[in-house]
Chains A and B, each alone.
Chain A
């Protein structure tokens, strides 16, 4: 990551875009969200591991396990499932809020690509008094195109070593 930060103009447009994206995701406006993703988007989140800092075997640690390792096709599959209307866990609607903060935007080696770091906090209110909360860091690569910014890659760093909800029928 190039630590030199970008022009105000780029920063503000990406900040607005991340806020807008959060609103689209909270509102389940998945078609509009898909429009923000490049056709060769990589969307990744790994299962966190708790290891000792000094662990000598860090280098040969077991292969990390993805929670998400998606391209556009598999994201379409996930969204297609939700759209079938057969995902009973999402009926009635679960209220969900995506809160984005700590946004930083940096230049990359490529003139039209920018790195954005942000923190996302997701709240879901489910049946009765049930409330679930997720926090994660996100590293994005956004590409500036003629029709606006498109997400090339998102790497989500989830905080929990044990996932605390029985489904992740939503996106980070």
Chain B
């Protein structure tokens, strides 16, 4: 099954201009192979900005971050800086954070509340609705001839909210957010809709700049349970209060029947233990969380049904919304990656909780998120060097011609009546990464959304597989 790598000549990899044929050779979905050059090549990166970040629905903000009119968040869609602003009528608008006069950055604060945004360069003033309201010396310098209605802030093409999460896309022709998420909604609801009042982010973003290609942390969290027992051996040794799918430090044993990898969800992916409690395996004192789960489980079963309520709510679950949003109920972190060039990204991590959780549990969660996956996180601090090294190991002239592999558990894909999507056994399985790269390739080669397939089951995934 593992294809031995042929000896490549320099002309076997594309050089310079990227062609459709090149795109075909970068990924092999069936055998689980990627060309290393996808992590370093500037042309590929530019194409990703256009075809992926320029077209996908991207996470902007959680509802709770901009509760009141005038509240704003400064964030990114790809490398484009975006200002997300709560309007007077409580709707949300998102604009490129750039002045339409000479192109200065409009707002420098991370978040806050403003009635209007005044540019620091010449003082043009924009309302929170994006309209250009004030132009200094309008009569003297523009002879009152400037048509201000033509110089408002540039809005995103579409903006929509799914159960508290605000997304936007630069592409007018993108499918609706609901269709884009597809059956992934069924999995997102395990967190977003388990409790009647939904979720909230607590605290502000923990931001880290990493010399890493943006795809690597995404594929890692989407499906790489394999690295847990090894890369995180130190953290697991000191912080585990129980075992996740009987995984042993040092990767000496695991129970792969106790969990699932799920993909084929329009490019989104899920890793999930099925025990209903392992989300709190890496909390030193999980009792308050266990009480909370116990107290609310019946209600959650009412809301989400028997299977999700019993087997999934409270479990360790990794949710990946393609291309750059990941959230882990249980460990309770919520994360978005902003690409900053082929070899750089900014990683923003928050703690997310159910609004109805007791204050004591919320504080415990905030501390635990920061202690496990913050900038000084016991777990997160193990991943940076590995992913940085993979990025760097895709630059050397000879090395970047090599393949790398996600060919674990090929042939294990199956359907389950209780779970949407394509399912494989276990957290230790590379199915999800294969599907992430399949989606990457589908997005990269399609000229428009009608060329991007929709699939939410094994049957559909097979029917839409490129030949």
Contacts and interface: CB of A to CB of B under 8 A. Distances in A.
A166 B204 contact: no
B376 A89 contact: no
A80 B239 CA distance: 10
Contacts of A63: 202-204, 366
Interface in B327-373: 346, 350-351, 366-367, 370-371
A62 B378 contact: no
Given A77-B284, A89-B385, A167-B381, A62 B234 contact: no
B119 to A, nearest CB: 14
Contacts of A88: 231, 382, 385-386
A84 B237 contact: yes
Instruction: Determine chain A's interface SS by DSSP, over half rule.
Output: loop
Given A89-B381, A166-B388, A80 B238 contact: yes
A51 B385 contact: no
B238 A47 contact: no
B34 to A, nearest CB: 22
Interface string A59-90: 00011111111100110011011101111110
Contacts of A74: 284, 371
Contacts of B385: 88-89, 166-167
Contact of A52 (B112, B203, B235, B375): B112
Contacts of A81: 234-235, 237-239, 378
Contacts of B35: none
B399 to A, nearest CB: 15
A53 B383 CA distance: 36
A56 to B, nearest CB: 6
Contacts of A52: 109, 112, 114
Nearest to B64: A62
Contacts of A55: 109, 112-113
Contacts of B212: 166
A65 B362 CA distance: 12
Interface string B374-392: 1110101111111010000
A47 B233 contact: no
Contact of B110 (A51, A56, A57, A68): A51
B360 to A, nearest CB: 14
A164 interface: yes
Contacts of B205: 47, 65
Contact of B207 (A70, A73, A161): A161
A81 B212 CA distance: 24
B108 interface: yes
Interface in A22-74: 45, 47, 49-52, 55-57, 62-70, 73-74
Contacts of A49: 110-111, 204
Given A66-B366, A89-B382, A168-B376, A162 B207 contact: yes
A169 interface: yes
Interface string A130-172: 0000000000000000000000000000000111111111000
B384 A167 contact: yes
A163 B375 CA distance: 7
A52 B109 CA distance: 6
Interface string B195-206: 000000111111
Given A47-B204, A88-B231, A88-B385, A161 B110 contact: yes
